Every structure is written in structure tokens, then in C-alpha cells.
Structure 1
Amino acid sequence: MANTEAKSGSKRVLRSNFPRGSYPWAVRAAQWRSLGIAEEDLEKPKIAIVNSSSELASCFSHLDGIAAELKKAIRAAGALPFEIRTAAPSDFITGAGKRGAYMLAARDLVTNDIEVAVEGAMLDGMVCLASCDKTVPGQLMAAARLNIPSLIVACGYQPSGEYQGKHVDIEDVFVGAMHVVTGNLPVDELIGMSRNAIRGPGVCSGLGTANSMHMVSEALGMSLPGSTPIAANSERMFSFVRAAGARIVQMIEEDLKPRDILTPGAFANAVMTILSIGGSINSVKHMQAVATEGGIDVDIYALFERYADQIPVLTGVRPVGQHSIEQLEQAGGGRGVMKRLERWLDTNALTVTGATVAKNLEGVTITDDDVIRPIERPFANQPAIVLLRGNLAPEAGIVKFGIDATKQRKFTGPALCYETSDAAIQALNDKVIQPGVVVVMRGAGVCGGPAMGGGASRVVFAIDGAGMSEHVAMLTDGHLSGLVCKGLVVAEVAPEAALGGPLALVEDGDLITIDLDRHVCDLDVEPAELERRRAQWVRPAPVNDTGWLKIYRRNVSSMPSGAVLAGDPCATQTK
């Protein structure tokens, strides 16, 4: 049945419209009439408002109010909004069950939630309300997969507080909790911090994964320029919400789609932006997942390797420095950072505005040169994110580094191996872990965790709490919270141990070398000995192998593809 032309001034044929009197038209008209939608409105562009509202976490608690304003703007622009819901994963809430395995697994659930609702109803476009860190890539992945006019709206960061005269936010609570475990912080002090860390709705206030991915969305051209980072529920945020409501209707008229925007040049722009702000290492796999879902031929890991030594760190926002996210927004935000990087960016890349990056950066100024530094006066010339290769990480390993140039960049020591975070933390408390060792925590990859559940971040912060960050190194196939920036930690080592990757073959006492300057992560064991161990290796029994996590584990692909639910499932592989 052919779709009909819209009658609201649009010249485009809308896929959501069906011939009057046909079965699809009749049943939709009956459903929507009961919702108070007039029959004459059925010919208008139909736009999904993707809302991950939830009362479980402050990250999502304000989204219903934002959706209400967005609906008004879409209606005023001559279109018909439909609010749909998705899963709403928050690391600090959803991470409690199954060793945190639901966190990354929920990203792909968000993507599939969107596909079912938006593609099933054949809506014409969507505006996604981006909040906590898994919703942003999940929404971008859906946009790339569905390839209908789409716009991502960053819904802002939460206000943090003070305790005992000092700044306190959720990162401090996370770190503090593990300091309590190692006996280096009184419980009452942690309780006091938790009571004051969050003063309102929004995402974590540092440059963790959420704010990093908000800025990635803008750098990719999928969010309105100047909209990230932004304070939740601020008038400035609502002005962008209203602008997004008007713009999505224009995008449908123009037939401007995500794959017109998500070019290799756009991904390079986003990689350079993350490097310049010392953003979350989780943005690496998330960007790769977006590219994979859109069928875009780009290797995000290779882009990080290519630009790491070229792009200086221009901001020092927590956790890589001491500036606040509020200071970054006031200084010029993501658009200000991109203005600094303009000489290197693909400025011909198209954005959701319908204009290029070059056009969007015209006239942009930075109001504080100490917060967003000039290229000639960076916080650090050494990269804040380093990808390593070597015989322990043939596919990759990732290190997040602060801007302190005095931090150690090379470490060689004997391995101490642990299969769970609890075992590693117990060894730390029992003084088994001593200065000079490399802590190996494995079995926490996308298949083994599954979904990278395993609590690697807890081990990092416990090591910090024990005062050992500068005295030991750590290797894990798990992932780290975007707020982690402590010590020398190689995360997301791939192939993972559960697939028989080299990490599975490491034994206590094996010598490991990590060298950030040479981008190397190597195991000093003779090849013949490794082959002997490989022949004896037995694949571990899967954990949390029920329900959604079983579906995820059996279908997730490996890290180089972004760990998406497509392609060659890693559960069928043995390295």
C-alpha cells in the first residue's frame, strides 16, 4: 500500500501515512482517536519522543517534564509527537544486580526498544532524550540502525554539593565507598558524603561516560551545536529542547538522516574531541557500536591510535583535572572545544542543523582560556586515553590517564591473578597484593561477565583506598566507570579471557610490561610455554546465564565491533 503525501504543508511523502480507508489507516485512526488525536492530524509527520524516564535514579527523574515541553514544540511546528519508553539503566542503581552485568547489556536493550516502537509504528523521525551513559549510545545506535531523521537532546548534568567545606559529587562517593572497604575512610564520613553529593536531577557531574557521550553526540553532528554539556532543567537546556522540537520537523521535510551525518569524518571529529577533553574510555566502544549499527566503515580504535599523540588535552575537568563541568559549560562547552580543534576537524561534515561543522563554528568564542586552553598552552601534550597492543592485548587494551605528567608511564612486575573483584579486594585487605605487582582481574569481558559485569572499577578504587595506586598496575578484560582515573590500569583487554584470549593464560608470577609511550602491553613468557597452557585451557562455565543476560551473552559480538548484538557472536568463538 503506497504511503500518501502529508497535508500539513509538507512536500514529502511520509512513510507513516497510509491510504484513507485502508486497514493500516483505519486501525491507527481508531487507536489514535481514542487518545484524543483529531482525524485531520493523522496526515502530519509523526515523531517519536524517546524517553527513558524512571523513578529509580536521579539521572532520569526529570525527563517527563522535558518530554512535555518537547511535545509542545513539535505540535507548534506542525507535527504529531508520540512519547515512547525504553529501559533506563543507571550504573549506580542497575549495577547492583548480577555483578553489574545489566549495565552494558541494557545499552543494546535501549536500541532494540527503540526499533520495536519506532520501526514497528513506521514513525517519520525521532528526538531522543539522552541522559545516563548507556542511553546515549543506545539511542545513537538506534538512529544509525533505523536511519530516519533523528536528533539527540542532552538532558543535562546534576548539581553536586559540599560536605565539610569541600566539593562532593557521586565520584567522591564511589571512591569513598571503596576506601571504606579498605579501612581508610570512616563509614560516617561516607554517609555524610552520600547525603550531600547530589542536589538535583541529571547525570554525574564530572566528565564521566554520560557527559562524554553527550559531547560525542554533538561532535558527531547528532545534537544541536552548543547544547553540551548543559545543566539539567536550566532555561538554557529548555531552549535547546524547544529548538530540537522545531528542527526535527524540518529534518523530516529535508529528509536529513543519520547516515548523511555519521560519516568517517564525523567520527574522527568525535574522537579528537574526546581526546582533547580526556573523556571516558567507554566512548571508544560506544562509538564503534554506533558505526557498526550504521554499517559505516570506520575503525574507532584505529582513530584513537592515530590521533592520540597529535591532540593535546585542552580541559582539566574532573576526574582528569580539578575543574567542574559547570566551568566547562560556561567557558564554551563542546562547541568551544571544537573551535580550538578546528584546524584538525573535518569541517565539511554535515550536522543536524543542515549546515556543516565549519558553519556551526563561525563566531564561536571561548570565555575562559584557563578552562578550555589554547592549543599552544594545553593541560597536557601526552594523551589522556592510550590504546595498547601486544601479546597480552592483540586486539586492544585501553588506559585512561590524568593530566599529571608525573604519573608512571611504564610498569613491569609479576602477575597476581583473580577471577572476581571480591577475590582481588580480599587479597588487597589481606596484604597479599604488595607494591610492584600487576593485578590481573579477568573473566569480566562482554561474554565472560557477561556484558562486562564484574566490578573492575571497585578493584581500582580499592587499590586507591589502600594507597597503592602508584605502586601496582592492573589489567582487566572488564570495563571501567567513566569516572575512573586512578593509577595505571589497562581495561577492556581483548580478546577477553572467557574466549581463551592471552589474558586467560597468565599465571601468578608471570612478568608483565605495560609501556604507555610505546603503546605496548606484553607478557614475558616463552611461546612454547603459552602453547602448552593453551592446550590445557578449559573454557569456564558461563555465569549469570539466564534470562536477558543469557540472550545477550549468546549474541554479543567482540569489542572491535563495539560489542553489539550483531555479526559473529563471541560466545561461539575461542581465541
Structure 2
Amino acid sequence: MGKDLRIKSKVFDGTMKAPNRAMLRAVGVSEDDFKKPMIGVASTWSEVTPCNIHIDDLALKAKQGAREAGGVPLIFNTITVSDGISMGTDGMRFSLPSRDVIADSIETVVGAESLDGLVTIGACDKNIPGCMIAIANSEVPSVFVYGGTIAPGSHRGKDIDIVSVFEGVGQHNNGRIDDGELKAIECSACPGAGACGGMYTANTMASAVEAMGMSLPGSSSNPAESPEKEEDCDAAGKAVYHLLEKDIYPKDIMTKEAFENAITVVMALGGSTNAILHLLSIAHAIEVDLTIDDFNRIQANTPHLADLKPSGKYVMQDLHRVGGVQAVMKLLHEAGYLHGDCLTVTGKTVAENLAEAPSLAEGQDVIMPFDNPKRADGPLIVLKGNLAPSGAVAKVSGVKVKRHTGPARVFNTEKEATAAVMANEINDGDVLVIRYIGPKGGPGMPEMLSVSSILVGKGLGEKVALLTDGRFSGGTHGLVVGHIAPEAQVGGPIAFLHEGDLVTIDSDKKEISFEISENELEKRRNEWVAPPLYKKGILGKYAHNVSCSSKGAVTDFLNK
């Protein structure tokens, strides 16, 4: 058992009254427990997605660890939604807002119950940043645990995943596969529990959090259904108690240098464009001065090393097999890419943790060497220009086209754009634009994985550029640009695009623009009328409060 920490407890500090004790006795808190710190275990368990179906058992492991260390652990739950299931439907508008609902709900319980420490366990895309925003705002010693990646599916002797199904729809539409083949892919893609297997958003953000020092070494690459993941959760419960002993808080760990480590690892692994949005939001919550321009600064000096899906051939379980994210971090640190003196939730520095970490397995080819990288610089770039004065985001890994100029094909909804693609109305060289789906306009900034995957499946992945003020899934690849800001809903230049305008995307110059005179642009701006802002329910609240995507699409921007 750990030492008596009642001096650190917010509840058991001498102000506890008989009614408070009575309520806690009813949930199993004993007389001896009143001398110990209360540690919350925030679980995102749910049956609505395979990403989170196993987390109830993992929460019990974290509770066990916290109890054995000397704390009083209490499990509580929050929501999750499945991006993969909602993709291509109106439900996708709720995905990004769920990040803030998760964050707010966890912070609410920690604050209302005066908890002393916190373990959060998340898996699906928005769980991870939601948990991290909550940790930042709750300001108690905390550890994040990743629920882990799913094992790859298998079809015709090849590994497949959920993105294989989306791309299969495009192949089916083009007549390249029949009904039976599409059904076989569908039935094989997701074999069990865990988050989507490639270097998509969940695995990207889990890796970023580990690089930042807010999860235990190995957490991001330990598979969902593995003894290592159970041990990870048990150890996290113990780790929070030790953070209380050492008086280490999230703000001590989540420094500007820690965020730079996270960005470096994301670039090296070829992570999701969503990492930019989410890391900005977490930095905002912890009050670290991180801007969208920091990503280009780090991108220019960080090689892309990982041969991981969607632009490579391997999945997260393969990376685990050859040493995991810790081995990649060790490689990067030894080459001078990481800040080794950053503190972590182990109570040790990054350098001290990595001294004990394994090196990459001999003969592996998941991670490329520095002298033969996938790309000499990072694959996530921020573009600016008269179409996106506040920035736009592209993932250029595996994309051979460096510059594309073509006529704009403009749609105000994903449904209309998808119908045009399926009807073969989009031609080689076109620039497909889907607008009014930004944070406010969507509302909720939905992802365009469905339409982008159909383009790839139809063989148009690098022949047609796809631009949007919405987002893209971490599973998206091809010639795509998202997060165009300011968004159309608030009168960003994307709102003034007309059918046929020539648009240019230049990844080398990091520019995105359209051909228009200042006089014509001003004329269109004066003629433009903003659509009504959505008003009802959670999406209405979100639309009225959310910031620009270049600021992380946060909902408390005016308060900080």
C-alpha cells in the first residue's frame, strides 16, 4: 500500500461532512478509504463501436492498479461515437462535437466529485483528444491509456481493414469487383475489438499522446486484445498514484517541447491530418502557445519513416511486433529529433524512458532507415493562399502529384458531390470542392472518407483533387486538402468559388489558390449571403461556439 496521501485529497481534507461520507459508504468506500486519495477512472466503453467494446474490462484493470497502489478508484463513463459507422451519413456531423462532449463530461465529473487523480481510457478517434482536453482542464495528476488497435482482417491472403471496404465501394461502382467480392471484403475487414488498424486518427493520436509523455511507454502500440494492454491499464492506475506522490501535474508534462515531440512522431509515422486539429485543441486547453505554423516548421525537418497504411502496407499491430512507438522514438531521439529532457507520467524524462526501451527489431521493414525514408520531410503540410488565408491541411504521403491546376466542380453538400462521382460526372483534372461543411457550416466538420475512398476505388485518387472546409479521415489518401479556413459558413474565400474557376494546389510551395481578380473577389463577397446558422440541440450549440479549424475548432476560445 502507498503512503497516506490524505493531505492531497480535496474531499478527505477535514472538510468532509457526515452526509458526504454516507453517500460514499453506499458505493463501497470504507472508513480506511477516507484517508486515501480518490482516483477517477474515465471509461469510454460502449457497444456502438468495436473500438471501445472491450474497455469495460480495461477500466477494471486500471481500477485494480489504482487500488493496489493505495488510492480509492471510482469508475465513471462517458460517450463515444463511431466515425466509421457514421461516415457518409448525417451522423458524421456529430463526430467532432463528440470530442468536446467527452472532454466536458469528464471534466464535469472530476470537478463535481473533487477527484484527486484521473485515468482516462479511450480508443476511437475523438476519445483520445477528448480525454486529453479533459485532463488539461481538470488539472489533476492524470494518465491516458489507449484502448489499443484492432488486428487486421484477412482476405485472399492479404491484410485488409475498414478503409478496404470504403475503397471497395468505388471498385464495385466501376465494375472492377462484383457483389460477392464486396460482401466478402465487408465480412472480413473488422475481426474483433480495437480501433482502426492503420496509421489513422486513433493510432495517430495515441502515438502523439505517448510521445507527449502523457501515457505509459508502449500504450499506443499495445494491441487492444493482448495481455500487454491489460498490464498497461493496471500500470496506469498505479502510475497516477505515484504522480500524486511526486506532485506531478499535466501542465508539468504537456509543455511546448512535449507538443513538438508529439508532432515529430506524427510526422515520422505518417499520421492523420486530424492530428493538427486535435493537438491545437489540446494545446489550447493546457495553455501552450502552439500554432498551425509550428507544424510546417517541424514538418520541414522531420523525415517520414513508417510504411504504414493508408499510404503504406503495414498496420499498427505490425509496428508493435517490431518494437512499437517506443522503438521509433528511440530511433528519433538518438538522431536528435526529440527533446529528451521532457517529463513524462512515469516520473522520468523521455530520455530516461527510452534508455530502457527496445530498439527496432533486426531486419524489420515497417520503419525505413534515415538514409532511405518514405519521404525526406513530413507528410502533413499546411497550405495557405487566397483560397485558404488561415490555412488548409494536406497529407502528401504517397502522392506523386506535386502541383495540380484544374477547374472547380463546386458542391455545397457531400451527398451531391458523391452522387456526381458515382454518376461519372467528375473528370480527370477536376478539382472537386465540397464546402459549407466546416465546424460551423456542417455543423460539426464531418469527414469525407466515403467520397475520397470512392475516388480512389474508381482510380481517380491522384487524377482529381478533392478540397473541403470539412475534414478527412486518417484513412484518407490521395490528392486531398481539408480544413480550408476560414470556412464557407463565415465568408471564407471558398464560399466565393464558382464552377469552372481554376484552382491550384502546390505542395512544394505549400500554396492553395484560385485565379480571380481583386475586383471580382470583392464583387462576389458583396453578393454573398451567409446561410442560416444551425440552431437546434448539440449541433446548434456547437455551431454558435466553435472556433476556426486553424485554432483547433475549440468551443471555449473566447474564454482563454
Aligned: 1:401 with 2:396: yes
2:344 corresponds to: 351
Structure 1, 80-89 or 379-388: larger mean CA deviation: 379-388
Please tell me the residue identity of whatever aligns with 1:500: G
2:127 corresponds to: 135
**Per-residue deviation, residues 425-460 of structure 1 (Å, max 9, x unmatched):** 22223333111111111011000001113x522221
Please tell me the residue identity of whatever aligns with 1:232: A
SS of 2:8's equivalent in the other structure is coil
Aligned: 1:174 with 2:169: no
Out of 364, 367, 371, the residue aligned to residue 366 of structure 2 is: 371
Out of 443, 447, 455, the residue aligned to residue 450 of structure 1 is: 443
Aligned: 1:553 with 2:557: no
Out of 490, 496, 514, the residue aligned to residue 499 of structure 1 is: 490
- Do the aligned residues in 2 keep the contact of 1:18 with 1:25 (CA within 8 Å)? no
Out of 515, 519, 535, the residue aligned to residue 524 of structure 1 is: 515
Please tell me the residue identity of whatever aligns with 2:541: I
1:341 corresponds to: 332
1:322 corresponds to: 313
Aligned: 1:71 with 2:66: no
| Superposed displacement of residue 275, structure 1 | 0.5
SS of 2:460's equivalent in the other structure is coil
CA, structure 1 residues 86+394, in 2 after alignment: closer, same or farther (shift >3 Å)? Answer: same
Please tell me the residue identity of whatever aligns with 2:278: H
Out of 73, 77, 88, the residue aligned to residue 85 of structure 1 is: 77
SS of 2:483's equivalent in the other structure is strand
2:258 corresponds to: 266
2: distance between equivalents of 1:75 and 1:540?
Answer: 54
Aligned: 1:243 with 2:250: no
2: distance between equivalents of 1:7 and 1:276?
Answer: 39
- Do the aligned residues in 2 keep the contact of 1:47 with 1:82 (CA within 8 Å)? yes
1:101 corresponds to: 93
Out of 477, 484, 487, the residue aligned to residue 476 of structure 2 is: 484
2: distance between equivalents of 1:346 and 1:7?
Answer: 32
Aligned: 1:432 with 2:425: yes
SS of 2:539's equivalent in the other structure is helix
CA, structure 1 residues 513+77, in 2 after alignment: closer, same or farther (shift >3 Å)? Answer: same
Structure 1, 467-476 or 108-117: larger mean CA deviation: 467-476
Please tell me the residue identity of whatever aligns with 1:371: V
| Superposed displacement of residue 56, structure 1 | 1.2
Aligned: 1:411 with 2:404: yes
Please tell me the residue identity of whatever aligns with 2:192: G
2:554 corresponds to: 564
- Do the aligned residues in 1 keep the contact of 2:198 with 2:308 (CA within 8 Å)? yes
- Do the aligned residues in 2 keep the contact of 1:158 with 1:204 (CA within 8 Å)? yes
- Do the aligned residues in 1 keep the contact of 2:170 with 2:458 (CA within 8 Å)? no
Aligned: 1:534 with 2:529: no
1: distance between equivalents of 2:2 and 2:225?
Answer: 35
Aligned: 1:292 with 2:287: no
SS of 1:341's equivalent in the other structure is helix
1: distance between equivalents of 2:53 and 2:28?
Answer: 27
| Superposed displacement of residue 377, structure 1 | 2.5
SS of 2:361's equivalent in the other structure is coil
| Superposed displacement of residue 541, structure 1 | 2.2
1:461 corresponds to: 453
Please tell me the residue identity of whatever aligns with 1:360: N
- Do the aligned residues in 2 keep the contact of 1:340 with 1:375 (CA within 8 Å)? no
| Superposed displacement of residue 374, structure 1 | 2.6
SS of 2:513's equivalent in the other structure is strand
1:313 corresponds to: 304
2: distance between equivalents of 1:235 and 1:69?
Answer: 11
| Superposed displacement of residue 96, structure 1 | 6.9
- Do the aligned residues in 1 keep the contact of 2:7 with 2:13 (CA within 8 Å)? no
2: distance between equivalents of 1:170 and 1:244?
Answer: 30
1: distance between equivalents of 2:531 and 2:460?
Answer: 30
Aligned: 1:441 with 2:434: yes
Please tell me the residue identity of whatever aligns with 1:344: Y
- Do the aligned residues in 2 keep the contact of 1:275 with 1:311 (CA within 8 Å)? yes
Please tell me the residue identity of whatever aligns with 2:378: P
- Do the aligned residues in 1 keep the contact of 2:51 with 2:123 (CA within 8 Å)? yes
- Do the aligned residues in 1 keep the contact of 2:97 with 2:539 (CA within 8 Å)? yes
SS of 1:395's equivalent in the other structure is strand
2: distance between equivalents of 1:7 and 1:196?
Answer: 47
Please tell me the residue identity of whatever aligns with 1:425: T
Please tell me the residue identity of whatever aligns with 2:40: A
Aligned-residue RMSD, C-alpha: 1.8
SS of 1:397's equivalent in the other structure is strand
1:213 corresponds to: 205
Residues 121-132 of structure 1 aligned to structure 2 (within 5 Å): 121-132=113-124
2: distance between equivalents of 1:36 and 1:99?
Answer: 39
**Per-residue deviation, residues 234-280 of structure 1 (Å, max 9, x unmatched):** 11112221211111101012121111111000000000100001001
2:10 corresponds to: 15
1: distance between equivalents of 2:464 and 2:283?
Answer: 36
| Superposed displacement of residue 403, structure 1 | 3.4
2: distance between equivalents of 1:99 and 1:87?
Answer: 15
Superposition misfits of 4+ residues, deviation over 6 angstroms = none
Superposition TM-score, scaled by structure 1 size: 0.93
Aligned: 1:389 with 2:384: yes
2: distance between equivalents of 1:383 and 1:66?
Answer: 34
Please tell me the residue identity of whatever aligns with 1:415: A
2: distance between equivalents of 1:568 and 1:190?
Answer: 48
2: distance between equivalents of 1:94 and 1:349?
Answer: 38
What is the aligned-residue identity percentage? Answer: 36
SS of 1:210's equivalent in the other structure is helix
- Do the aligned residues in 2 keep the contact of 1:182 with 1:462 (CA within 8 Å)? no
**Structure 1 residue ranges without an equivalent (≥5):** 1-5, 570-575
Please tell me the residue identity of whatever aligns with 1:442: R
Alignment length (residue pairs): 555
| Superposed displacement of residue 382, structure 1 | 4.1
CA, structure 1 residues 57+77, in 2 after alignment: closer, same or farther (shift >3 Å)? Answer: same
- Do the aligned residues in 2 keep the contact of 1:7 with 1:44 (CA within 8 Å)? no
1: distance between equivalents of 2:2 and 2:406?
Answer: 71
2:413 corresponds to: 420
**Per-residue deviation, residues 484-532 of structure 1 (Å, max 9, x unmatched):** 11x2111111110111100000101111111000000011100110000
